[in-house]
Structure 1
Amino acid sequence: MDYERVADLPVTIDGYELSQHERHTSSGFERVTTTVTLRGEGLVGRGEDVTYDAEDHHALAASALPALAGEYTIDSFSETLSEMNLFPSGPQRPPSRRYRRWAFESAALDLALRQADRSLADVFERDPDPVQFVVSTRLGEPPTIDRVDRLREVSPDVALKLDPTADWTAALIDDLAETEAVEILDLKGQYAHADVHQPANPRLYEQLLAAFPEAIIEDPAFSEGTASRLRAHADRLSWDVPITDASSLSTLPVDPAWINVKPSRIGTIEALCGVISYCTDHDISMYGGGQFELGVGRTQIQTLAALFYPTGPNDVAPAVYNDPDVPESPPQSPLDVDVPESGFTPT
């Protein structure tokens, strides 16, 4: 994914608008995001700010950012953003700066492509393929297999990404293993700024590695009690939270075999291109990841998956899977992504 293919794309911005969205999720929290709409030459480009703290969204809505009107290239617009404070107050957590940066950069890319009457597929000379996806879901408190059973009723071939916790019992682990549906176990051992952080748990890790011998293990915590066992399974370890640019790939506890590519966690188009290029050059397998997007952010990560890593276990399932109630007739994997003829997102 050569950044030079988009760096010099011109984009004219006349102004911007912000709109908030809210939805209750299957993980038990009220999700708030902000859609950034850039306007120019009678066209619009959109991106989505997936910052998790609602107060950061409310502060943005109540404040005025510096004017963005002007003529740019994608690269010069990114440079302009780097010199701006996109948080009138806050943020509550440092990673949110990258989330908001991505919202504005992806909106600018969407607008630049529309103004040039070109698509992302055209610019990178790639044809989209149907996207294999997994469904990420929580199991409740206390955790049970009930939601998994319901998902398998409406989608018998569903593939799952689950977040193990210390209160998973041996019986629950055995029941989940019997479904043969679990493709990714996200141990959430790399979070420093989120309530979902799970510390290293040697007993749980040992149970999971044995019960799910084919599953990808995402973001494990390396400790004195887990490091040697994890290194023995390095070929199925994956990384999400630590990945912010290509250089971060060389700072991991083991040489990476899998990477969860989250554009919003990476923050800039240039850094995203660098990560994908590095993984391609070093034979590191990729899959896309989501952050409970409520709008255009979801279609953008699906578009990237269709173009660059369609056969991975992409955590980009249609947003209906994040609703509290399991949908009756949800879209099935593989997903035919509506890659637009111009722009980054469908109109």
Structure 2
Amino acid sequence: MKIDRIDIIRVKVPFVHPFETSFTRFVERDALLIKIYSEGLIGYGECKAFYAPLYNPEDNGTCHHVIKDILVPLLLHKEIAGPEEFIEKVSFIRGNRLAIASVENALWDLTSQREGKSLKTLIGGTRDEVKVGVSLGIEATIPDLLKKIEKYLAQGYHRTKIKIRPGWDIEVIKEVRRHYPDITLTVDANSDYTLADIDLFKAMDEYNLCYIEQPLGENDIIDHAVLQKAIKTRLCLDESIISLEAARQAIELGSCKVINVKSSRVGGISESIKIHDLCRKHGIPLWVGGMTELGIGRVQNISLASMPHFTLANDIAASNRYFDEDITIPTVNITERCTLIVPDETNGVSYTVDEKAIDRLMVSRDIFK
């Protein structure tokens, strides 16, 4: 397919409620959208970076630079077979996976349209619907958190994840378990601890957590291996898994027993498929992680989660969990079973991009013809 035009669109979408993690408090989703025109078709991708390098080294500024100055010239007015060839062409770039993934995702969208097949079909998805869990930020008080948990349990979410940080951890877990002894509960530390806290994590063994997500350094797999051997609770790696090679090393070292795949973090859907296949071979359970995506990224996450080895509840909540207004028609909504139906040519479920919503939310647009 020939690439005729590429747009980089920046939008800002307010959160319904501020979302707090160990590293920041979000009040709006500041995001880049990639729009690629090819032979009468338009493919969309969403860049998952944040306004600053908080989750990983990239942010919207660095991604905009890489897309504008490196990826656009590589593609514009060129012939390309599809996303796999694109990944080969950008293999010379070190890091910058969020930027690469945003363009790769748009190429997957174009490929889906050209072939008349859903993304689920293209990547070998087998599930018609996927289970979702809820991720809850750090609240002002424990009673506030308990009210949030009660609200989302009533909606049927299949797993409850709470963010922790030093000073907001073991006592919070203890109180949650006291009120809800039987729910599927996980905690996410976002790399806020060290091996000096090993006794704290040993104490968490008492509370029957499904897993502890990324307790140690965002680049670490060695200390995680030490911690995993010292505790009974499964560790789940998130930020540390930036590629197929990182996943292989973590599995061989015994650094985790669960992996969270964020397709943007690993450089796109193509790399996510390879990690899926590796973890399936080694019996490491997977789930698709979220980065408070808008609808474009959220819908692509649903399709990724349809692959057979994504066996745990995913962080792909309904759009209205975060936003009053989103950028797809329809917006992403959960079923009464607290699942998401996977878009597929066989079931008639599909999403289109809401161009009018993008125009309302847009703060800038760069056009390359």
Q: TM-score, normalised by structure 1?
A: 0.77
Structure 1 residue aligned with 2:88: 79
What SS does the aligned partner of 1:72 have?
coil
Structure 1 residue 267: deviation in Å? 0.3
Aligned partner letter, 2:10? Q
Give me the CA root mean square deviation: 3.4
Mean Cα deviation higher: 106-115 or 125-134: 125-134
Residues 139 and 145, structure 1, Cα contact 8 Å, conserved in 2? no
2:343 aligned partner = 339
Amino acid at match of 2:345: E
Query: Counterpart amino acid of 1:12?
Result: K
Please tell me whether the aligned partners of residues 225 and 254 of structure 2 are also in contact (alpha carbons under 8 angstroms): no
SS at 1:266 equivalent: coil
The 8 Å contact of residues 163 and 187 in structure 1, kept in 2 or not, is answered as yes
In the alignment, is residue 210 of structure 1 matched against residue 218 of structure 2?
no
Change (3 A) 1:228 1:102: closer
User: Which residue number in structure 2 is paired with residue 271 of structure 1?
Assistant: 271
Q: Identify if the C-alpha distance between structure 1 residues 260 and 58 changes in structure 2 by more than 3 Å, giving closer, same or farther.
A: closer
Over 3 Å counting, the alpha-carbon distance change for 1:308 and 1:345 in structure 2 is: farther
Q: Is 2:321 the counterpart of 1:315?
A: no
Matched residue type, 1:207: A
5 Å-filtered alignment, 1:1-347, equals 11-22=1-12, 23-24=14-15, 25-27=18-20, 28-29=25-26, 30-53=28-51, 56-57=59-60, 60=64, 65-66=72-73, 68-74=76-82, 75-82=84-91, 97-141=96-140, 143-153=141-151, 155-156=153-154, 157-158=156-157, 159-168=159-168, 171-178=171-178, 179=180, 180-189=182-191, 197-200=192-195, 201-211=197-207, 213-221=208-216, 230-233=228-231, 236-252=234-250, 253-254=253-254, 256-309=256-309, 311-322=311-322, 333-341=337-345, 346-347=351-352
Contact map agreement 1:244 1:271 (CA 8 A) in 2: no
8 Å CA contact retained: 1:134, 1:317: yes
Q: Cα deviations across residues 80-129 of structure 1 (Å, max 9, x unaligned)?
A: 34457xxxxxxxxx96x111110000110110121121223333454333
Contact 1:21 1:294 in 2 (8 A): no
The answer for the alignment partner of 1:87 in structure 2 is: none
Amino acid at match of 1:313: A
SS at match of 2:345: coil
Structure 1 residue ranges without an equivalent (≥5): 1-10, 85-93, 190-196
Q: Percent identity?
A: 23
Q: State the shift of 1:46 in Å.
A: 1.0
Structure 2 distance, partners of 1:117, 1:232, is 50
Aligned residue pair count: 313
**SS of the counterpart of 2:30?**
strand
Letter in 2 for 1:20: R
Q: Distance in 2 between matches of 1:278 and 1:63?
A: 33
Give how far 1:255 is off.
5.4
**Would the aligned equivalents of 2:100 and 2:267 in 1 still touch at CA under 8 Å?**
yes
Question: 1: CA distance between counterparts of 2:68 and 2:142?
Answer: 43
More displaced stretch, 155-164 vs 217-226: 217-226
Structure 1 residue 37: deviation in Å?
1.1
**1-structure distance, mates of 2:223, 2:6:** 51
Q: How much has 1:221 moved relative to structure 2?
A: 2.6
Deviations 1:39-98 (A, max 9, x none): 1122111111011135953673996642623221123322334457xxxxxxxxx96x11
Bigger mean CA offset, 173-182 vs 222-231: 222-231
Q: 1:26 to 1:19 in 2, by over 3 A?
A: same
Cα contact 2:98–2:267 (8 A) shared by 1: yes
Contact 1:303 1:337 in 2 (8 A): no
Could you tell me how far 1:34 is from its partner in structure 2? 0.9
Compare 33-42 and 18-27 and name the one that shifted more: 18-27
In 2, Cα distance between equivalents of 1:220 and 1:154: 24
